[in-house]
Amino acid sequence: MSRRIPAQREAARTFEALPPAKGSRAPFAESWWGRAWLRSLEESSLDSGRLSRGRTYARGGAVGPVTVSPGSAAAPVQGSRRTPYRSTVQVEQLTDRQWDRLLDMIAERAANIAALLDGEMPAGLADDAEAAGVPLLPGPRDLDPECSCPDWGYPCKHAAALCYQVARLLDHDPFVLLLLRGRGERELMDELGRRNTARASAEAAASAATTGAVPAAVPARTGDPARSAFASRTALPPLPGPPPLPDRPGRGPALVDSAVPEGGLDPVALELLAADAATRAHHLLAGALGTQHADTAPPAPLTEWQDAVRLAATHPTMDVFARIASNCGHTPGELAAATRAWRHGGAAALEVLESPWNPPASLLERAREALRADWADGRPPRLRSWRNRWTVEGQAAQLRLGRDGLWYPYTKDRGTWCPSGPPDADPAVVLSALLAT
C-alpha cells in the first residue's frame, strides 16, 4: 500500500525584510543547521570577495522580503541601480520515496516532532537521514544561486546576500529548510499525524491478537489543526526542567585565615583555584543549558602557558597577575599582551599574537579585493603586508589574520604591537573600527 503524501502542497511563505544591521559582528547563523547552509554556500563559492560583499549587502538591509517555496528562495536585492535585482537560490527537492523514509524517521520518535515544533532541528534526525540516503541538509554544490544582475560571479554579491538572509530564517524556523526541500509545515504535520494514527491502530491490533481482546476503535481524524491533532495522540510524561543557572559563580571556601602547616599548600592559591573552578563550572552549565549544546565540540586541552594566560584574564587582579608573572617564564609585558589577546578571542587570539604564519596568497588577494569593494570610496588605506599581517602605512594600526579566518585588530603602544579589539571575518569592518578609535 502506497504511503505517498497527498498532492496538496504548501505553495510558499513570504518573510518580511530584516532591518539593516551595518557594522554588526553577530554571525548570520547560530543554529547548527543554519551554519550547515552557510558552509554549503561558502564551500561552493568561487569568489570569497563576492561573499564578503554579499554579507555587507545583507547587513545593510539590501535584501527585501524573502519568499520561500518548494525548491527555491527568492528576494529583491538592492544593488547599485535604482531598481532592485531579482535573486534566487535553487535547492533540489526530495523525491517522494526520500520523503517517505524521512517521515518514517521523524514519526518513530515523538522527540523529533517536539523538537521541530520548538524550532529545533534534531541532529540525530539529520544524521539518520543522511545514512539512509536522504540529503536533508545541503552539501557543497547543492545550492544553485541566480540573479538578474549582469555579474557572472558564482554567486554574485546579490545572490550571496539572499543566501545569508535565508540562513537567518533557518535559524528561527527549521521548517523553512523542509519547505525548501519540498514540503510545508502543515502538510508535514498532517502526514505525521496520519502515520501516528496508523501506527497506533497496528499496535492495538497486534496487542489484541496476542491477548484475545477486542481492539478499541481508533478515533477518526477531525478537522483540528495538525499541531493539536498530533499533540492529542502523543502521551509522553513531562520531562523535569533543567536546573536554574545561578546569576554568578560562587567564590569557593575562604582559606586565607586557615592554619596551614609549614611547607604546606598556599591558601591564597587554593582560594583562587576554587574560585576559578566555580567560574568554569558556571560557564559549562550555561553552555549545557543553551540550545546549541549538542552541536558544540569540546575545547582542546590548554597548554600550561595558555592556562596561565586564561587565569590572568579570568581573574584580573594585581595579585593574581603578579603571582602568575613570577612563575610563568614570560615577562610581565608579555603576559599583559597575552591576557589582553585572550579576552578578545581565547586561545585563537593568543596564537595570532604569538605565531605569525603564511596564508595562501590567493586568500590574501581575495581579502584585498573585498576590502577595496567594501571601502566607502573604493580606496582603503595603503597596507604593508608581511605573512599574515597588514600594517597601515603611516599609522600605528595593523590587522592580523588568524587561522580561524578572522581578522584581529592591533595598535602599537610604546613600540610594541598589542591586541586592541575583537576580531571579525570582514577586514573592512575591523579596519574601519580600528581607524575610528
Residue 4, pLDDT > 50, answer no
Residue 276, pLDDT > 80, answer no
3-state secondary structure at position 33: helix
Of 341 and 243, the one with more pLDDT? 341
Q: What residues does 87 pair with on adjacent strands?
A: 75, 147
Residues present in the chain in total: 437
Q: pLDDT for 80-114, tens place per residue?
A: 778 899 999 999 998 999 998 888 888 777 777 77
Q: Can you list the alpha helix ranges (DSSP code H) found in 60-211?
A: 96-108, 110-117, 123-131, 157-172, 175-180, 185-211
Residue 24, pLDDT > 80, answer no
HSE-CB of 399 using CA atoms within 13 angstroms: 29
Of 61 and 24, the one with more pLDDT? 61
Of 319 and 391, the one with more pLDDT? 391
- Residue 239 is predicted with a pLDDT of 61
Residue 205, pLDDT > 70, answer no
Mode of pairing for the β-strands spanning 72-77 and 85-91: antiparallel
Percent of the chain whose pLDDT exceeds 90: 19
Residue 76, pLDDT > 90, answer yes
Please report the sign of the dihedral spanned by the C-alpha atoms of residue 93, residue 98, residue 100, residue 103: negative
- Residue 132 is predicted with a pLDDT of 81
Of 436 and 26, the one with more pLDDT? 436
Residue 168, pLDDT > 70, answer yes
Q: How far is CA 91 from CA 41, 61, 155, 193, 318, in A?
A: 11, 24, 14, 27, 56
Q: How far is CA 271 from CA 28, 251, 255, 267, 315, in A?
A: 41, 8, 6, 6, 12
Nearest to 145, CA basis, from 72, 195, 202, 83: 72
Cα–Cα distance, 175 to 69 (Å, whole number) = 11
Q: Side chain identity at 87, as an amino acid letter?
A: S
Give the chain's mean pLDDT: 79
- Residue 422 is predicted with a pLDDT of 87
Cα–Cα distance, 169 to 101 (Å, whole number) = 26
- Residue 42 is predicted with a pLDDT of 83
Percent of the chain whose pLDDT exceeds 70: 74
- Residue 179 is predicted with a pLDDT of 92
Q: What residues does 383 pair with on adjacent strands?
A: 392
Q: pLDDT for 296-333, tens place per residue?
A: 666 678 888 998 898 888 877 888 888 888 888 888 88
- Residue 209 is predicted with a pLDDT of 64
Identify the burial level of 60 via C-beta atoms within 10 angstroms of its C-beta, where 0-12 means exposed, 13-18 middle and 19 or more buried.
middle
Residue 234 makes CB contacts below 8 A (sequence gap 6+) with: 110, 113, 114, 196
Q: Which of 146-155, 185-194, 283-292, 403-412 has the lowest mean pLDDT?
A: 283-292
- Residue 172 is predicted with a pLDDT of 84
- Residue 210 is predicted with a pLDDT of 65
- Residue 224 is predicted with a pLDDT of 47
- Residue 292 is predicted with a pLDDT of 57
Q: pLDDT for 234-258, tens place per residue?
A: 445 566 666 677 766 665 555 445 4
The single-letter DSSP state of residue 213 is P
Cα–Cα distance, 37 to 167 (Å, whole number) = 6
| Residue 127's pLDDT band (cuts 50, 70, 90) | confident
Cα–Cα distance, 75 to 82 (Å, whole number) = 16
- Residue 385 is predicted with a pLDDT of 92
Residue 5, pLDDT > 50, answer no
Q: How far is CA 83 from CA 62, 64, 331, 346, in A?
A: 11, 12, 59, 45
- In this structure, are residues 428 and 414 in contact, taking their beta carbons and an 8 Å threshold? no
